[in-house]
Amino acid sequence: MWKFANPIRHQILQTRWPTAGEAARSRLFSPIAIGNLEARSRTWVPAMVPWRATEDGFVTQQNLDWYRRFAEGRPGVLVVEATGVRDIPSGPLLRIGDDRFIPGLRKLVETVREASGGETRLFIQIIDFLAVKRRPEKAKYFQRFLTVDDHHRQALAAAMKQPVWLTASDDDVREFLQNADDELIEVVLTSRELEALRFGYRERVTDTHLKHIHDLPHELPAIFAAASERAREAGFHGVELHYAHAYTMAGFLSAQNDRADGYGGSRENRVRLPLEVYREVRRRVGNDYVVGVRFLADEVIAGGSRVEDAIFYAQEFARAGFDFLSLSKGGKFEDAQQPKVGQAVYPYTGQSGYECMPTVLSDEVGPFGRSVPLVAAVKKAVNESGFNPPVVATGGISTFEQAEEILRLGQADIVGMARQALADPDWFMKVRLGRGDEVRRCTYTNYCEALDQAHKPVTCKLWDKGRRVLEPPPWLTAD
């Protein structure tokens, strides 16, 4: 995990919880329109992947139990984990890339409706991602994955001052490189080959020499639209298009996207496919269905998009008709740490990962609501350009006072809590009932994130206590 050079250990925020009356009169527990829907409160549980689906992407009983538990706390909105829009193997992550996934998802919808007494609005986050391979063993990489060509022969001949390499066989080049030291390997391999060796092969949206990447602008609108139609059919109140973090659509929005086919380069070109996807989704689900978006307020990587880009995108998204804008930050592959051999690179291990899920080991700003100023800048610009879709702020927000202040200052319209909701899904109910002092407070030390990184079922250390209990315990009320 990435760390600040001289981290400061912050204590979780001391706070005063509201009485039931104060909660009832608060902004946080007042309703808000999201598209043609009304959410009962401005509370929001953003998407969290729990690693509980079957290997084939179906909803399991564990998924149902997980979402039922969140629904019991009755947040205004609950967003189901990033769910794959394609029907391709992706481990125990939910999928929505075929009609056969609809019955399981419908069960999930019914479970949440029942557990929340119909109060919680349920959206599903839908995602496309490109190939990311595990870091290979060195020998395997050179024997099986490296495509030897003349560039390697020439580089070897020059580095070794031995022209004989110019006519060497593929096998000889592989054999030699496999046993070469790092310095020589660095001279002979391209930067992408080095990355494949040291981090595992990873596709980018800019790999337009690959047909399936070249064709993404042609393919993705229909794929997202079909997935959204299934979401509607399964009974979700809306879809959230995942344009954040390390995945395909964020790759298009990234300032690093220099595709030369009209879908990269300028901001206008980078936002083109995200808008085309939106329009096709809208065309297929109709105007009376909630379609929102999650994207980055800042990529937090060198050469990445900054808040000025986010403002531009937000205005474009609002103008196009998105029903809500949910902001996140960072979470990129570009600055991720090197994985161990046999493991895949994880986009939350670098500085950008820190900014996505900040911990109490922080800088002087601390982890609590540190991206709120960016969200506020985005919201202000969107509102000034004449649009008012609800804007969701998330990241290190765990007290009523924090949330209420964000809303009072107009920095966001809705407040999201991911880890705090995992630590205690009853936060919303407890605070509403004036029983905030019973909240199990998140300590922001990311045990949950480590499980996500290891692709293990996600739990919280506060109630799992190392025993691998998969569900938060029930709220044992005194009455």
Instruction: State in angstroms the smallest separation of the CB of 54 from ligand FMN.
Output: 17
Q: Tokens for 154?
A: 């020439």
Q: Where on the chain is the footprint of ligand FMN (CB under 6 A)?
A: 46-49, 81-82, 125, 242, 244, 294, 328, 356-357, 394-397, 417-420, 448-449, 452, 458
Between 46 and 136, whose beta carbon lies closer to ligand FMN?
46
Other residues' Cβ atoms within 10 Å of the Cβ of residue 114: 12
Other C-beta atoms closer than 10 Å to the C-beta of 157 total 17
65: CB partners within 8 A, 6+ apart? 470, 471
Q: Cβ-count burial of 443 within 10 angstroms (0-12 exposed, 13-18 middle, 19+ buried)?
A: middle
Alpha helices in 235-306 (DSSP H): 248-253, 267-270, 272-285
Closest listed residue to residue 296, CA positions, set 343, 332, 269, 260: 332
442 touches ligand SF4 by CB under 6 A: yes
Binding mask 418-437 for ligand SF4 (x = CB under 6 A): -x--xx--------------
State CA 465 to chain mean position distance: 26
- Closer to ligand SF4 by Cβ: residue 136 or 330: 330
Using the minimum distance from each CB to ligand SF4, give the nearer residue, 3 or 144.
3
- 255 makes contact, choosing from ligand FMN, ligand SF4, none, with CB < 5 to 8 Å by partner type, with none
d(CA 302, CA 368): 24
Nearest CB to ligand FMN, comparing residues 202 and 294: 294
* Cβ at position 412, least distance to ligand SF4 in Å: 21
Question: For ligand FMN, which is the closer residue by CB, 292 or 395?
Answer: 395
Query: How many other CB atoms are found less than 10 A from the CB of residue 9?
Result: 9
Q: Which is nearer to ligand SF4, 388 or 445 (CB)?
A: 445
**138-156: string of b/e by CB count within 10 Å (b at 16+)?**
beebbeeebebeeebbebb
Residue 457 binds to ligand SF4 (criterion: CB under 6 A): no
Task: Check residue 460 for interaction with ligand SF4 (CB under 6 A).
Answer: yes
Number of shown-chain residues binding ligand SF4 (CB under 6 A) = 13
Instruction: Work out how close the CB of 423 gets to ligand SF4 at its nearest, in angstroms, rounded to a whole number.
Output: 4
Supply the minimum distance, in Å, between the C-beta of residue 444 and ligand SF4.
5
> Is 447 near ligand SF4 (CB under 6 A)?
yes
Structure tokens at 75: 């947040």
Nearest to 93 by CA among 53, 63, 132: 53
Instruction: Provide the token pair at 119.
Output: 């109060």
User: With binding defined as CB under 6 A, does residue 387 bind ligand SF4?
Assistant: no
> Collapsing DSSP states into helix, strand and coil, what is residue 187?
helix
Q: How far is the CB of 362 from ligand FMN (least distance, A)?
A: 12
**Rounded Cα distance, 200 and 220, in Å:** 25
Beta carbon nearer to ligand FMN, 84 or 136: 84
Place of tokens 């998924």: 63
Given the structure tokens 């080049």, which residue do they identify?
173
- For position 153 contacting ligand SF4 by CB under 6 A, the verdict is no
Contacts of 182 (CB under 8 A, 6+ apart): none
We find the least distance from the C-beta atom of residue 29 to ligand SF4, in angstroms, to be 23
Q: Minimum Å distance from CB 190 to ligand SF4?
A: 39
CB 17 within 8 A of CB 437: yes
Comparing CB distances to ligand SF4, the nearer of 413 and 452 is 452
- Of 12 and 37, nearer to ligand SF4 (C-beta) is 12
49 contacts which partner out of ligand FMN, ligand SF4, none, CB within 5 to 8 A by kind?
Answer: ligand FMN
CA distance 56 to 472: 26
Question: By CB under 6 A, is residue 399 in contact with ligand SF4?
Answer: no
Question: Which residue ranges make up the site for ligand SF4 (CB under 6 A)?
Answer: 419, 422-423, 442-448, 460-462
